[in-house]
Amino acid sequence: MNNDQKASHHWNLNAPAWTALTRAGYDIYRDYLNTPAFFGILPKIEGLTGLDIGCGEGHNTRLLAENGAQMKAIDVAEYFIEKARETEMEQPLGIRYEVASATELPFEDASFDFAASFMCLMDIPNPEVALKEAFRVLKPGGFLQFSILHPCFITPHRKNLRDSNGRTYAIEVGDYFRFLDGEIEEWIFGAAPAHLKELYGNFKVPVFNFTLTQWFHAVIDAGFAIEQINEPCPSEETVKKIPYLQDAQVVPYFLHIRCRK
């Protein structure tokens, strides 16, 4: 099994539990930090044609459509696409979903005004190829905006350092330059209750980590010009509402990049 097949295989296995847990509201970092920050820097998309790359079960695709974009979306996991299509039938937004790889998009050149990718590109073996594919399907002047785990702070070695009150005061990181090349990392949403963690077990996610330099080179080598960078940090108000997010005030867990063709 090569790395492309490994990524597809594991995301198909992860998809049922991922869908159930995210739809039950246990992806706290997505719902209260990462996605709101992503939309906070997103240009106006009303009336534009857009592509969501690595759409999962369609949560963020639907938000893009609700902001007025005419959306298509792809994912490698058949289960994700099945669930996204079911929701589209129940709550039509005009979204077309397809099973496809980010590294081989089934669309003509210059098909879209913009593309978005939420927490997908760091989970594939060749993100540099996916970036070139995104560039290809965008119209001249179109943009790609994507979010990834922050490569400087989500490293092969990572540990939260907490004080006597349980508050994170530092993040210990290491092995920044060690490439994992598809090593399986097991985890589950920490906010999920114990009985659901036991029911579903851990996600098994192949890791293909890039350094910050490699990410920037990949974006530039694809032909893009970088125009916006964001490192989301939860506000004090948000942390009071969702104390679970306190550690994301210490270092950024996510990196957002917008680049233009």
How many alpha carbons lie under 13 Å from residue 51 in its C-beta half-sphere? Answer: 31
- The pLDDT score that the predictor gives to residue 7 is 86
Give the model confidence (pLDDT) of 141-200 as tens digits: 999 999 999 999 999 999 999 999 999 999 999 999 999 999 999 999 999 999 999 999
Residue 1 has pLDDT above 80, yes or no: no
Contact 102, 87 (CB under 8 A): no
Residues 53, 118: Cα–Cα separation, whole Å: 8
What does pLDDT average to over the chain? 96
Give the model confidence (pLDDT) of 235-247 as tens digits: 999 999 999 999 9
Split at pLDDT 50, 70, 90, the class of 2 is: confident
Q: What is the mean pLDDT of residues 130-134?
A: 98
Give the model confidence (pLDDT) of 80-118 as tens digits: 999 999 999 999 999 999 999 999 999 999 999 999 999
Residues 178, 106: Cα–Cα separation, whole Å: 33
Residues 34, 24: Cα–Cα separation, whole Å: 17
The tally of domains found in the chain comes to: 1
Residue 260 has pLDDT above 80, yes or no: yes
Contact 238, 35 (CB under 8 A): no
196-205 contacts at long range (C-beta below 8 A, 24 or more positions apart): 196/21, 196/24, 196/26, 200/17, 200/20, 200/21, 201/17, 203/14, 203/17, 203/18, 204/10, 204/13, 204/14, 205/10, 205/14, 205/123
pTM over 0.85: yes
Residues 192, 110: Cα–Cα separation, whole Å: 41
Edge-to-edge strand order for the sheet containing 96-99?
96-99, 70-75, 49-53, 112-118, 138-149, 254-260, 225-230
**Full residue range of the structural domain in which residue 42 is found:** 3-260
| Residue 245 structure tokens | 């997010």
Q: What is the CATH number of the domain that holds 213?
A: 3.40.50.150
What b/e string do you get for 80-99 counting C-beta neighbours within 10 Å, with b at 16 or more?
Answer: bbebbbebbeeeebebebeb
Look up residue 34 and give its DSSP letter: I
